[in-house]
Amino acid sequence: MPYETILYEQEGALGILTLNRPHRLNALSRQLVQELDAFLGEIERQREVRVLILRGEGRAFCAGADIKEMAEEEPGVALPRATTRIATRLENLPLITIAAVHGYAVGGGCELAMACDLRVASEDAQFGQPEVKLGILPGAGGTQRLPRLIGIGRAKELMYIGDFIDARTALAWGLVNRVVPRERLMEEAKALAQVLLQRPPLALALIKSCVQVGMQTDLHSALEYEARCSTILHASEDRREGMRAFVEKRPPVFQGR
């Protein structure tokens, strides 16, 4: 399907999705949200791509919802619901996602990055939830994902004040996994992706599932879920291969079974 506001390329099992509205710092217009939703529907159905990098074209990752577009529209429920849905859909993808963040990742941009599994930031990156300054709230999961990632106190400060933090602070607060020089951002994100591609797909999928399910339920149920997933993995061919390869002192060759 041809898209205008996003670009997609594939290198083997690695997909790279680029937000492509650089003139507006990749602000989430209605069209971008719709195209992102359609793209997520497509990638959910395939099994070839196992790691997806999300990045932004131009000088920013994403400056959030398109304020100019929103300012002209009658307020309604459609766009907030759509942004919530795409963030959740992104978070639940059956593959591993990495946000490669440079420039601004603010508002809905920060929320998209948080919906990814991992975040690699360049030294110039800035993060924030400035919605309060517009009289709204971080409505694409920010009020929930931010405190889960960085703790309630820091999350409230970011959301109440609306100011941005730099990449080093984001790293110290646990909002990003790594900070790298700007010119090496994609190289480092791809290197991380390659490591993930060497890991057994079934184990990665179930680890992700345990975290996703566990963060939304009580500890007892989450541990029970973990035990079931663990039992599944112990019966897998990949588990046999991983342990045999260790004993035989050779790299494992995982089949995803």
Positions in the binding site for ligand CO8 (CB under 6 A): 24-25, 27, 63-68, 70, 79-80, 83, 104, 106-108, 130-131, 134, 139-140
Q: Is 157 one of the annotated active-site residues of the chain?
A: no
Q: Which residue number, 26 or 97, has a Cβ lying nearer to ligand CO8?
A: 26
Q: Is 10 helix (H, G, I), strand (E, B) or coil?
A: strand
Give least dist CB 97 to ligand CO8, A.
18
Beta strands in 116-238 (DSSP E): 118-122, 126-128, 165-166, 178-180
Q: From the candidates 131, 224, 237, 248, give the one annotated as an active-site residue.
A: 131
Instruction: Please state the closest distance from residue 252 (CB atom) to ligand CO8, in A.
Output: 42
Per the DSSP assignment, residues forming a β-bridge with 15 are 10, 52
CA separation for the pair 245, 250 (Å, rounded): 5
Q: Which is nearer to ligand CO8, 108 or 200 (CB)?
A: 108
Is residue 241 within 8 Å of residue 255, measured between CB atoms? yes
Q: 115 or 203, CB closer to ligand CO8?
A: 115
Give the whole-angstrom CA distance, residue 168 versus residue 102.
Answer: 13
Q: Between residues 158 and 193, which has the closer beta carbon with respect to ligand CO8?
A: 158
Task: Annotate 27-55 with b (16+ C-beta within 10 A) or e (fewer).
Answer: bbbbebbebbeebbeebeeeeebbbbbbb
CB of 3 closer than 8 Å to CB of 9:
no
226 is catalytic: no
Amino acid sitting at position 74? E
The CB-of-183 to ligand CO8 minimum distance in angstroms stands at: 20
Task: Tell me how crowded residue 220 is: count the other CB atoms within 10 A of its CB.
Answer: 8
Provide, rounded to whole angstroms, the least separation between the CB of residue 140 and ligand CO8: 4
The Cα–Cα gap between 113 and 111 comes to 5
To ligand CO8, the closest distance from the beta carbon of 155 in angstroms equals: 15
Q: How far apart are CA 21 and CA 87, in angstroms?
A: 18
**With respect to ligand CO8, which residue has the nearer C-beta, 20 or 83?**
83
Active site residues: 111, 131
